[in-house]
Amino acid sequence: MGTWDAKHRQEHGGGATPTSAVSFRNLCRSSPWKWQSLRFEYAETPGTGTVRAWLRRPGALRLEADDGTLLGNTTGINDSRDGLYISATRKSWLLPAHLVTPVYDDGGLVRRRPEAAYGEPSFGNGRFAAALDPVELAGNAPVPLEFPNANAVELLEPVQQLAHEGRAALETVVSPNAGYRPLDPAAPLCGPGRTRIRIDAATGVCVSAEPLDGGGQLPGHSIRILAVDEYMLDDLFVAEPMNLTDVREHIQWPLRPNPA
């Protein structure tokens, strides 16, 4: 697994995430190597309710409404992949991102992403998937310094470290450049004008996007992360539960009383 070695983090004094523009962009590239499962609450603004989500990479997703009503879940996580490989396209044989190693910076953030099978499960529109891996805000690699405004987005304010729902995050205000290519053009993380962006420091997830222009009519979103790399049974994601025992909970063994 292409993760940052703990020994290297100690050698480089890894603690709080640096608050430079370079570190912010590297954090936006790092999500695929920072977590494998995520439990969170997701809400789009303005005027939508909160959705509870369980996501396990690659491709397993369960969604519930506030009252526990099931909104959707993936049903093919154990299906055969033979048709995908028989199609014999080059993309079919790409490895999942966590199985390949990127180029890290000295703080353990991803400076350059390798070719891999990227992509998160979607819900409603592409903003949901883009928020989980906000690489569209940074691009796969740094741009040459001699080309002004060549980055995907321009950072308009210094990067600040703050708390979002009790977790450390980096925040700044950005605006799109001509080279900005959102995952879903109809639902970009960064709309026209200025957008306040928060990236969770531990996961690289875009936990908040708040448009500052447009009179509150442009869409945004907020994510509250509840658990990272929590063990998740297949029963959460399949159409027909297999009634497996959840070994995380204590199993009661009823004993028969001894006959008198």
Q: Using one digit for the tens of pLDDT, what is the confidence trace for 205-215?
A: 999 999 999 77
Looking at every residue in the chain, the average pLDDT score rounds to 85
> Residue 141 pLDDT more than 90?
yes
Give the mean model confidence (pLDDT) for residues 61-72.
Answer: 90
From 6-20, 90-104, 144-158, the region with the lowest mean pLDDT: 6-20
**Sequence-distant (≥ 6) Cβ neighbours of residue 7 within 8 angstroms:** none
pLDDT, tens only, 38-48: 999 999 987 77
CA distances from 132 to 35, 59, 89, 112, 223 (A): 10, 12, 26, 18, 10
Q: Which CATH number fits the domain 6-10+19-236, given the four candidates 2.50.20, 1.10.260, 3.30.1370, 1.20.58?
A: 2.50.20
Query: Residue 124: what pLDDT?
Result: 80
What is the chain written as a DSSP string? --PPPHHHHHHTT--SPP-SHHHHHHHHT-GGGT-SEEEEEEEEETT--EEEEEEETTTEEEEE-TTS-EEEE---TTS--HHHHHT--GGGGPPBGGGS--EE-TTS-EEEPPS-B-----BSBHHHHHHHS-GGGT-SSPPPTTSTT-SSEEE-S--EEEEETTEEEEEEEEEE-TT---SSTTS-SS-SS-EEEEEETTT--EEEEEE-SSTT-S-EEEEEEEEES----GGGTSSS------TTSPPP---PPPP-
pLDDT surpassing 60 at residue 33 = yes
User: What's the confidence (pLDDT) of residue 26?
Assistant: 96
pLDDT digits (tens, 9 = 90+) for 130-139: 999 999 999 9
Long-range CB contacts for residues 20-23, cutoff 8 Å, separation at least 24: 20/159, 21/155, 21/159, 21/172, 22/105, 22/142, 23/105, 23/107, 23/109, 23/159, 23/170
Residue with tokens 């080279």: 179
Strand partners, 234: none
Q: Which residue has the tokens 């070994």?
A: 247
